Amino acid sequence: MEKTILVGVTGCIAVYKSAELVRLFQKAGYRVKVVMTEHATHFVDPLTFRSLTHEPVAIGLFDDPSDPIHHISLAEEADVFVIAPCTANVAAKIAHGIADDLLTTTALACTAPLVVAPAMNVHMYEAAATQENLATLEKRGVRIVEAGSGYLACGDVGRGRLADLNDIVSATIAALEGDAASDGDQDLAGKHVVVTAGPTYEPIDPVRFIGNRSSGKMGYAIAQAAVERGARVTLISGPVSLDAPTGVQVVRVQTALEMLAACEDAFSQSDIAVFSAAVADMRPETVSDHKLKKSDTEDSAALQQVRLVANPDILATMAQGKRAGQVVVGFAAETNDVVENARKKLEAKRADLIVANRIGEGVAFGTDDNQASLVTPDGCEDLPLMSKHDLADRILTRAVEIGSGC
């Protein structure tokens, strides 16, 4: 049966982001109901949420004459209750069991997992009272999606911004699906996993490019498996026709240089980095600003002699700056001497693990299955043919083992 996410919306400027959050939950296939505090209605009209969810928006304790105990029915309907944004006031009330409006009464009555994403002014966020209230909630099993840092609506700079919506989505889905999953499934909770995926396109002119056949399926499967295991995931993706896994932060790029820049932003904060992209080894030295015409002598000559220059090796560049405990995983697609070639790449690129694929005979490109060997400095594990999702799990398990020194 379709699961229901109850979204609690409280009164702060970040309320406008809750509308997008509702859309993300719907895109992930969940039914969404919204409960607002009266203060929140000053920032966004309930009509916005009513239009998005096609459901009545719950606000006042006594608003629905047909349902005199609205807080109980709402609490029972919820498979997970996520309050985003959550003000200091509402966090304080929930921490102390105060139930003086529909949202806080529902929170008290709700036995489903509770997720709280605070947003407020930096001084309110850092105040001892707020921090103690959030710690109290966390101790009781409430998932807190910590506020981020940056420029705040009040003009201050610091912590207090509503967390990235993808982080709220992944925490909510982890809380929701966590009941069905075993504890072992959340072994990446608190970890940041960066994944590169898909091909890169290297432009010749505004129309033509050099690319390759990578579907991106393997990298997307790794991103999905990582988020399912509780990780925060940044997926740096070349052009593919795949939907981004829910809860994953996607950075879309076209070229190898763009992919490198995105990796430079994300890599240092990662615990595990998986480089599964099929990066174009070469790019045209110059990119024409107009479509090169065959009918034009000069353009035609340029087309016949596209000069190529080498792209940087993204995996090798990133692995050079690897810190202790950080695990770097690469891929090697080979037609022959698979393990031997993979071992050479392991050493040359300073990776901790190379996933070696034999290319050809229907294996690897564009398929849903994959057969691989996991090559590390200590040995090689030959895996049987399996789905890319299962292979993704095996790769992550090995990466976790390497990270913990096993």
Q: Which residues are catalytic?
A: 154
Q: Among residues 116, 134, 169, 315, which is the contact residue for ligand CTP, using CB under 6 A?
A: 315
Cβ(35)–Cβ(109) below 8 Å: no
Closest among 180, 146, 150, 142 to 163, alpha carbons compared: 146
Q: Among residues 116, 197, 277, 292, which is the contact residue for ligand CTP, using CB under 6 A?
A: 277
Separation CA 329–CA 351 (nearest Å) = 6
Closest among 47, 31, 38, 52 to 9, alpha carbons compared: 38
Q: Among residues 64, 76, 126, 281, which is the contact residue for ligand CTP, using CB under 6 A?
A: 281
Note whether 80 binds ligand CTP by CB under 6 A. no
Task: Fill in the per-residue mask, 187 to 206: x = in contact with ligand CTP (CB under 6 A), - = not in contact.
Answer: ---------x----------
Note whether 353 binds ligand CTP by CB under 6 A. no
Number of residues that bind ligand CTP (CB under 6 A): 16
Separation CA 90–CA 15 (nearest Å) = 14
Note whether 399 binds ligand CTP by CB under 6 A. no
Note whether 221 binds ligand CTP by CB under 6 A. no
Q: In this structure, what token pair is assigned to residue 72?
A: 């109980």
Separation CA 379–CA 401 (nearest Å) = 14
Separation CA 97–CA 164 (nearest Å) = 28
Cβ(283)–Cβ(309) below 8 Å: yes
| Residues 40/45/50/53 CA torsion (nearest 10 deg) | -60
- Shortest gap between Cβ of 386 and ligand CTP (angstroms)? 19
- Shortest gap between Cβ of 106 and ligand CTP (angstroms)? 47
Separation CA 218–CA 69 (nearest Å) = 49
Q: For ligand CTP, which stretch binds (CB under 6 A), given 226-234, 270-278, 285-293, 362-370?
A: 270-278
Closer Cβ to ligand CTP, 81 or 331, answer by number: 331
Note whether 238 binds ligand CTP by CB under 6 A. no
Applying CB under 6 A, which residues contact ligand CTP?
A: 196, 256, 275-277, 279, 281, 311, 313-315, 330-333, 345
